[in-house]
Each structure stands twice: as structure tokens, then as C-alpha cells.
């Protein structure tokens, strides 16, 4: 009898009626012969209400108290779901993160899972119980404090439990019905993927696709957990995120590009007139790294007349912090000029078959250029190519690339 | 440096502004040179909202899930209070019942505290921290489950913590400003008591005074915890509930009666034509005891012609269950007739000085009779006399007795 982990987000459990719908899905899965672990988020809106009250007191709040408070959103919800399942004649029990044995470090509000002690869950599953686990939370064994896992925390709980329990699959129920080759709101012909590899999904998540946070995909990749992305509203097939070779091979032979994404949360900083001596770049990026600013693309031009220029991108949200660091640097590095550009976007193509097809990059650059879209920066990896372009072209660029690689995917290479 | 436990109820912490007011009171107490433990309830209304959702699923819900759910009302509130205290420059930390070491049995929804492991709280207090503990909850060490303590649970948490920490006093902040000689809404001349003994308070609580639940007074009596009942709205002296002899003596010499209460939650059952043989009464009351029905007053008349009558009172809320038991008895005891009367009330006078003053009972009966109030049943103890009367006379009876014993208290005996 295999184990299935099913995760439901906040809108899926936002009121009693929806909780009952979720309970019916859970019971159907269980009655089909599976041991079932359910991971649920807080009711949509509950946690925000609590956070707003805390912010009325101060914006500089204690993160331990924040975690203790917001975790109650999930904790108060899982008993309702457990009871709804019991009403359908199936034994069920709710678990806090602590009761489910989810141990974390002590980094309040963005804790990392260190270990899952599965004994209690396994005993409950063996006794025929459906286990309903509060997502997004764990506890630090040293302090006994409740911790929360940060953005996308409930997805992370689900994949981590699936890994620890050696589940057959981790099903993530969301308000979309799977992973698409591009955002369907922008690209009308976007196709739902039946299957995608962990690596590709990780790139897509990192590059702006909202369906799964990268952290949870990374966890799935590291522990080889199959993740199925499904609609919580409709009963139809979703997208399987897997590392099973069969799935990958089938796709690799057919098309090179699995998805096209854009990300407008990008800003470019250019440092001009840097002294052109060894170690300057290291000085710049270790200062930024020291303040936990995530630098994405970097271009350094060759020094002329003893000075150099460096351009790099950060997320728009981190731009103020990055500028603060650069201004501090300017004092130690002399006559530094700092320029910023927020009107940019990153457009990317992702595909595990890319490296085995020649001409993918050339096709990408030509497609953009044919549409008068200027490329400001380029970065590549084994399975993706990203270009920084003007922000206003973001949607157009995605459509152009989707058209070039996916709608006519069989023609390239 | 002494320890003070301060308890605030749901209306005192119902929004951010009130939480800030409570924080100011706590900080003042702490800055006056005390180690402070705060016990807080859930925001008024929060828990009811959760319970209503559970009841939408079923009224026959699992009590473990109920406890897991409702305890979040307190857990989500204490971090806000801790943060509000920190905003006033005083270190503070929130604790769940589990984190505060409050161990209970596994009787979900009405758990009893078995032990308090105070190490973590004591360490926090020693480091200068104000400890903000979630009321109403504990945990069962065997199962790791959260439990709740039932009605008046946060008061019980406060007194239990005061006992375990050997606090100087347990301050209960409520929406009244102390314990009165009678309900001030009924008796205009009701006086606030400066001091009352645990024993008297216990009787008053059991006899219908709402200010403290008997369970928490009993705990205070058993562990000799001084309880101060205070207004959370106004800054004025409250009532001290104590067993310190000095307080008792001072009062004993002055007046005999500390308080007059009435309780309309009373019903009388009369069993007629019982066989008048030894063991019949035992049979009746062990059957009632076996179903956890709390029988209060009992009158058994002498048998005439081999039959007997028994009358007893139960709370109105337990009347249906008591009748069910009596109907079952009727089958085994033969031609039993069952009569009920719900239009009754119990009026009581309580005073530790009572036994040292003669004539208290006589004065009570005469005062009622002078006002044409018929006495249906009487019960007495060392420190109280209760009479069952017609319900419609309840308020009048309290005023008459208050007038006889308290407004002119120095004249009796």
C-alpha cells in the first residue's frame, strides 16, 4: 500500500464548504487504496489578519513571536479538515509541525528543515488513519520553539514529508491545473506539460513561473520525489515533475524547450569608473553577498585607461539594500559612479534537451532581434538561456519565443 | 524580588489598543520591582468563530481536534502581547501551555493540570524577561497532544502558575472591580469586599457568583495562593481572596455574612412512592452519580405505609440527563412517580464568621418569611446557608438578606 502526500493551499480550504470538498478528494484517494498524508495551509486571509495586528504594534517585530503567532493559522485549520474527513467515515487526525516531527534550525520566519522524525505519522498511517499535517511550520528541538518555513512553506512541508515517508508521489493542489509552457494569461497557445524534469522545473521556478517555489522543487530533486501539480477545483490530469529517466527521454527526443518565462522583478545596477585592479570585482560582490543580496547576471567590461565598469542585476525588491551597499563601497573605492535601471525584464527559455540541440541560442537571439527587441544582457546554463530586455517588451518576447520554440518546436535544431 | 502573576481575559485583549493598555499595566508592575508572569486569554470572539466552523461540520466533534483548534485562540494572542510589552522597552517572550511546562491528563476539553515543569519560565524570569503564557491550555506528555482546561481555564492557568512559581499574588483582571456582597445589578447597596477567605469565595463561586470559577478558587485554597480580583479598566483596589489568618480574623470580628447570592440554574426532582426499604436512596443517588450528575440538596421524608418520597435539586442544564436516569430507575423500582419543578432558585448567605454567631439561620428564615417568601428546601454547611425558593422571588430574597445581614450586619448575632 503506497503513501500519497496531498497538499492543499489557502484558497482550497478557505471555508467550511471548501474544506468538505477537500475532505471528499482525500477520502477518494484513501479509498482507492493509498495511505494518505494531507498537508494544509491556513485559511486564506487568516494569517494576513494576524500579521496586520502585529504590524500595528511595530514593523520591527520579533521573529520568534511572529512565528509563534502566524503558525496558528495552519494549526487552527487542520483540525477542521480532520473532522471533515471523519464525517465521511474515515479515521483522521490533525498534527502540528511539532507533532509531525518536523525539526528545523532556529532561523525564525525562514527556518530550514533539518530532520523529520516520522515515527508518530507512520504509526498513525499503519493504523489506517489519514494524517492531516499543518503546513509551513516546524519546531526547533533545542529551544522547543515553533518555527515557520517562509514563502511556499506548505509546499516544502509536503515534499519534505513525501521524501521522509518515501511516498509514491506528492500531489500539490493549486488554483492552476498544471505547469504550462508559458503563462496562459499572456500566451494564448501555451500548452500544459504532462511531465517535466525537476531540473527544468527548478529553472522555471527560479525564472518567474509561480506555480511552485524553487525551494520545494530543489527538495524534490534532491530526494527524488515525484511532484504532481493538480487543480484543486477541477478533476483533470496535471503535470508530473519527476527525475524518472523514461519521462525525460521521451521528451528530450521531441522538443528542446519546455517553457518560456519572464520576470519583471529585475533591476540593473551599473558601477562605472571602478579602479581596474585585481580583486575589485571580488570586493564588490562579497560586500553584496555579505548583506544577503542575491546577484543574478553580471557583466564586467575590459578595463580601458585603468578603469572598469561592472553591471549586474538584482531583484527590484532588493534594489534599495543593494544601493546602500554600493554607496558604502563608493567611499572606499574612490570616484565610483552608480547607475540603476528598473525598466528591465528577464525573459528565459528552459529545456533539458537544449544542450543536445544546436542553434537554440541563435534562434532565440534572432527571434528577439526580428521583433526589434534589444538584448541588454545574456546568461546561459546547461538547460536555460536568459536575456535581459526592456521591461515593456516582456510579454511580446515571451510570445515570440513560445512561437519559435514550442508552437514550432519540432522545426528547430 | 517577588513574582506576580497577572491574568487578563478576552475582553481585556480584544484588539491592538487594549493589548497596548494591558502591556502598560504589565510594564508598570514589572518596573515596580516584580518578576511578572502574564496569562492571557484569546481575543474575545476568536474562539467562538472557530467553534462555529467546527459545528458546521458536526456537533459530535472529536474533542482532541477541538482542543487542537481552540487552543490557537490563545496561542495567536500571546505573541501580540509580548511584542506590545517589548515596544515599551521591557524584554518579553510568549509561551504556549506546552512551552510553559503545563502538563495535564488526557481528558480533552476539560483536562486537569497534573504538574507544571517551571524550569523554562524560571530561567526566563531570572533573565529579566516578562513571560506571557497562553491561558486555558496545557499538553499531555504521553501523547504530545494539546489539551484545554475547560470553563474558566485561563484563571486556572494563572492560579496554577502562581502556585508552582510560589508567586506573591495572582492578580485576576476582569470586567468587574472585585467581589461584592451581592450582585450590584440587583442590590444597589452591595459593597465591594476588601478581603474574603478562600473558603467563602469557594462557596460564593459554587452558589452562583460569576467572578471566579470554583475550580480556580479551590486550587488557590489548596496551594495557599492569594488571588486579587481587579478591574482591567479602572485603576482601583480590588478584592483579595486569601487564607492568611490576619485578614480572616479582622473580618470575623466584624460581620458574619460576606455575601448573598442567588442561582436560578436549579431544578427540583421529586420521586414519589418509592419502596421504603434500606438502600433505596443509595440506589437512586449512585445511579445519578454514575452518570456524572451533580445532585445538590436532598430531602427524604419518613416512610408512611411502606413508601417514601425523595426530593433533590440538580442544575437546570443537567435536568434532562437526570430525568433519563430516573426513568430508567422507575423500571427497576416499580411504581415510581417523577415530578419536576424548574421554577425555583437557590438563595444563599456565605460567611466564615457564621458558625461563631448564633441566630444567623433564624434571622435568614424570618427575613424571608416576613416578605412572604416560602422556603421549599434548606441546606447548611459550616460557612453557608442555602434556601430553595420560588424563582420569581430570587432578586427580592437577595435584597432582603443583604439588608438583614450586610447593610445592618453589625446588629445581628
Would you give per-residue pLDDT tens digits along chain B (413 residues)? Answer: 899 999 999 989 999 999 999 999 999 999 999 999 999 999 988 899 999 999 999 999 999 999 999 999 999 999 999 999 999 999 999 999 999 999 999 999 999 999 999 999 999 999 999 999 999 999 999 999 999 998 889 999 999 999 999 999 999 999 888 999 998 888 988 989 999 999 889 888 877 777 888 899 999 999 999 999 999 888 889 999 998 866 555 554 555 788 999 999 999 999 888 887 777 778 888 888 887 788 888 887 766 677 778 889 998 988 998 999 988 888 887 767 899 999 999 999 998 767 666 678 888 989 999 999 998 888 887 788 899 999 999 999 999 999 998 876 443 33
Verify whether the Cβ–Cβ distance B80 to A69 is below 8 Å: yes
Distance from CA of B18 to the nearest CA of A (A): 12
Verify whether the Cβ–Cβ distance A84 to B56 is below 8 Å: no
Please report the pLDDT score of residue B335 as a whole number: 67
Distance from CA of A38 to the nearest CA of B (A): 15
Query: A50 to chain B: which residues are within 8 Å by CB?
Result: 76
Query: B54 to chain A: which residues are within 8 Å by CB?
Result: 79-80, 83
In terms of CATH architecture, what is A3-252? Answer: 3-Layer(aba) Sandwich (3.40)
Verify whether the Cβ–Cβ distance A62 to B69 is below 8 Å: no
Verify whether the Cβ–Cβ distance B54 to A87 is below 8 Å: no
**Using beta carbons and an 8 Å cutoff, which residues of B are at the interface with A?**
16, 19-20, 50, 53-54, 56-58, 61-62, 64-66, 68-69, 72-73, 75-76, 78-80, 82-84, 86-87, 93-94, 96, 98-99, 120, 144-146
- CB-nearest partner of A57 from B69, B80, B93: B80
Report the pLDDT averaged over residues A253-273: 84
Strand (E) positions, A76-204? 92-95, 102-104, 113-116, 130-134, 137-140, 145-148, 169-174, 195-197
Q: What single DSSP character describes residue A301? A: P
Verify whether the Cβ–Cβ distance A78 to B72 is below 8 Å: no
What percent of chain A stands above pLDDT 90? 59
Report the pLDDT averaged over residues A126-150: 96
Query: B78 to chain A: which residues are within 8 Å by CB?
Result: 68
Query: B68 to chain A: which residues are within 8 Å by CB?
Result: 75, 78-79, 94, 96
Distance from CA of A46 to the nearest CA of B (A): 11
Please report the pLDDT score of residue B319 as a whole number: 92
* Prediction pTM value: 0.82
Verify whether the Cβ–Cβ distance B75 to A75 is below 8 Å: yes
Verify whether the Cβ–Cβ distance A79 to B54 is below 8 Å: yes
Query: A19 to chain B: which residues are within 8 Å by CB?
Result: 57
Query: B84 to chain A: which residues are within 8 Å by CB?
Result: 57
Query: A76 to chain B: which residues are within 8 Å by CB?
Result: 50, 69, 72-73, 76
Please report the pLDDT score of residue A125 as a whole number: 97
Query: A62 to chain B: which residues are within 8 Å by CB?
Result: 79, 82-83, 86
Verify whether the Cβ–Cβ distance A58 to B94 is below 8 Å: no
Whether the per-residue pLDDT at A342 is higher than 80: the answer is yes
Please report the pLDDT score of residue A301 as a whole number: 73
Question: Which cell numbers in the block locate residue A7?
Answer: 497538499
- Name which of B76, B136, B137 to mutate to probe chain A: the one with the most chain A Cβ atoms within 10 A of its Cβ: B76
- CB-nearest partner of A16 from B19, B56, B61: B56
Question: Which cell numbers in the block locate residue A195?
Answer: 511531465
For B152: left if phi > 0, alpha if psi spans -120 to 50, otherwise beta; the answer is left
Q: What's the CA gap between A90 and A276, in Å, rounded?
A: 70
Query: B83 to chain A: which residues are within 8 Å by CB?
Result: 54, 57-58, 61-62, 65
Verify whether the Cβ–Cβ distance A75 to B72 is below 8 Å: yes
Verify whether the Cβ–Cβ distance B66 to A80 is below 8 Å: no
Distance from CA of B341 to the nearest CA of A (A): 39
Whether the per-residue pLDDT at A409 is higher than 70: the answer is no
> Which residue has better confidence, B228 or A234?
B228
Pairing, β B169-174 against β B3-8? parallel
- Name which of A17, A61, A63, A69 to mutate to probe chain B: the one with the most chain B Cβ atoms within 10 A of its Cβ: A69
Distance from CA of B60 to the nearest CA of A (A): 10
Verify whether the Cβ–Cβ distance B87 to A16 is below 8 Å: no
Query: B146 to chain A: which residues are within 8 Å by CB?
Result: 96
Pairing, β B113-116 against β B102-104? antiparallel
Q: Nearest residue of B to residue A67 by CA position?
A: B79
Distance from CA of B101 to the nearest CA of A (A): 11
Distance from CA of A45 to the nearest CA of B (A): 14
Please report the pLDDT score of residue B111 as a whole number: 94
- Name which of A68, A101, A103 to mutate to probe chain B: the one with the most chain B Cβ atoms within 10 A of its Cβ: A68
Query: B93 to chain A: which residues are within 8 Å by CB?
Result: 64-65
Verify whether the Cβ–Cβ distance A94 to B66 is below 8 Å: no
Query: A56 to chain B: which residues are within 8 Å by CB?
Result: 16
Verify whether the Cβ–Cβ distance A57 to B20 is below 8 Å: yes
- Highest mean pLDDT of the ranges A172-181, A284-293, B127-136: B127-136
Verify whether the Cβ–Cβ distance B99 to A61 is below 8 Å: no
User: Using H for helix, E for strand and C for coil, what is the string for chain B?
Assistant: CCEEEEEECCCCCCCHHHHHHHHHHHHHHHHCCCEEEEEECCCCCHHHHHHHHHHHHCCCCCHHHHHHHHHHHHHHHHHHHHHHHHHCCCCEEEECCCCCCEEECCCCCCCCEEEECCHHHHHHHHCCCEEEEECCEEEECCCCEEEECCCCHHHHHHHHHHHHCCCCEEEEEECCCCCECCCCCCCCCCCECCEEEHHHHHHHHHCCCCCCCHHHHHHHHHCCCCEEEEECCCCCCCEEEECCHHHHHHHHHHCCCCEEEEEEEEEEEEEEEEECCCCHHHHHHHHHHHCCCCCCCEEECCCECCEEEEEEEEEHHHHHHHHHHHHHHHHHHCCCEEEEEEEEEEEEEECCCHHHCCCHHHHHHHHHHHCCCCCCEEEECCCEEEEEEEHHHHHHHHHHHHHHHHHCHHHCC
Domain extents for chain B? 3-252
Query: B66 to chain A: which residues are within 8 Å by CB?
Result: 79
Task: Determine the longest span between alpha carbons in chain A, in angstroms.
Answer: 80
Long-range CB contacts (within 8 A, 24+) of A52-56: A53/B16, A53/B80, A54/B79, A54/B80, A54/B83, A56/B16
CB pairs under 8 A between A and B: 95
- Name which of B60, B65, B73 to mutate to probe chain A: the one with the most chain A Cβ atoms within 10 A of its Cβ: B65
CB proximity list for A215: less than 8 A, separation 6 or greater? A150, A152, A156
Please report the pLDDT score of residue A261 as a whole number: 92
- CB-nearest partner of A68 from B19, B75, B144: B75
- CB-nearest partner of A68 from B58, B66, B79: B79
Verify whether the Cβ–Cβ distance A58 to B83 is below 8 Å: yes
- CB-nearest partner of A53 from B57, B80, B146: B80
Whether the per-residue pLDDT at A100 is higher than 70: the answer is yes
Amino acid at each position: 500500500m503506497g503513501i500519497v502526500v496531498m497538499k492543499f493551499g489557502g484558497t482550497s480550504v478557505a471555508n467550511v464548504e471548501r474544506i468538505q470538498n477537500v475532505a471528499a478528494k482525500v477520502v477518494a484517494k484513501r479509498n482507492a487504496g493509498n495511505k494518505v498524508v494531507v498537508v494544509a495551509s491556513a485559511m486564506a486571509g487568516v494569517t494576513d489578519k494576524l500579521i496586520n495586528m502585529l504590524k500595528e504594534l511595530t514593523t520591527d517585530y520579533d521573529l520568534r513571536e511572529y512565528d509563534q503567532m502566524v503558525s496558528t493559522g495552519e494549526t487552527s485549520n487542520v483540525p477542521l479538515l480532520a473532522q471533515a474527513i471523519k464525517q465521511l467515515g474515515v479515521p483522521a487526525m490533525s498534527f502540528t509541525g511539532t507533532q509531525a516531527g518536523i525539526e528545523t534550525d532556529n532561523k525564525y520566519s525562514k527556518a530550514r528543515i533539518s530532520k523529520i522524525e516520522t515515527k508518530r505519522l507512520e504509526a498513525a498511517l499503519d493504523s489506517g488513519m489519514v494524517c492531516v499535517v499543518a503546513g509551513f511550520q516546524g519546531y526547533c528541538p533545542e529551544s522547543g520553539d515553533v518555527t515557520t518555513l517562509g514563502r511556499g512553506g506548505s509546499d516544502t512541508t509536503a515534499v519534505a514529508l513525501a521524501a521522509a515517508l518515501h511516498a509514491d508521489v506528492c500531489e500539490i493542489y493549486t488554483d492552476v491545473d498544471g505547469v504550462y509552457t508559458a503563462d496562459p494569461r499572456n500566451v494564448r497557445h501555451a500548452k500544459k506539460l504532462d511531465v517535466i524534469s525537476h531540473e527544468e522545473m527548478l529553472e522555471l521556478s527560479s525564472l518567474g513561473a509561480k506555480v511552485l517555489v524553487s525551494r520545494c522543487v530543489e527538495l524534490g530533486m534532491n530526494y527524488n520525489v515525484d511532484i504532481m501539480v493538480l487543480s484543486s477545483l477541477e478533476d483533470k490530469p496535471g503535470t508530473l515533475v519527476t527525475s524518472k529517466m523514461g519521462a525525460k527521454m521521451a521528451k528530450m527526443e521531441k522538443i528542446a524547450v519546455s517553457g518560456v518565462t519572464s520576470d519583471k522583478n529585475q533591476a540593473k545596477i551599473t558601477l562605472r569608473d571602478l579602479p581596474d585592479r585585481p580583486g575589485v570585482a571580488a570586493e564588490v560582490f562579497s560586500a553584496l553577498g555579505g548583506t544577503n543580496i542575491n546577484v543574478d547576471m553580471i557583466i564586467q567590461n575590459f578595463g580601458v585607461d585603468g578603469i572598469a565598469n561592472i553591471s549586474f542585476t538584482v531583484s527590484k525588491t532588493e534594489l534599495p539594500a543593494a544601493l546602500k551597499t554600493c554607496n558604502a563601497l563608493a567611499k572606499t573605492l574612490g570616484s565610483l559612479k552608480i547607475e540603476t535601471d528598473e525598466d528591465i525584464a528577464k525573459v528565459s527559455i528552459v529545456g533539458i534537451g537544449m544542450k543536445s540541440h544546436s542553434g537554440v541560442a541563435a534562434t532565440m537571439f534572432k527571434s528577439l532581434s526580428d521583433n526589434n527587441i534589444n538584448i541588454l544582457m545574456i546568461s546561459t546554463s546547461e538547460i536555460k538561456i536568459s536575456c535581459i530586455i526592456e521591461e515593456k517588451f516582456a510579454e511580446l518576447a515571451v510570445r515570440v519565443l513560445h512561437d519559435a520554440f514550442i508552437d514550432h518546436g519540432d522545426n528547430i535544431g
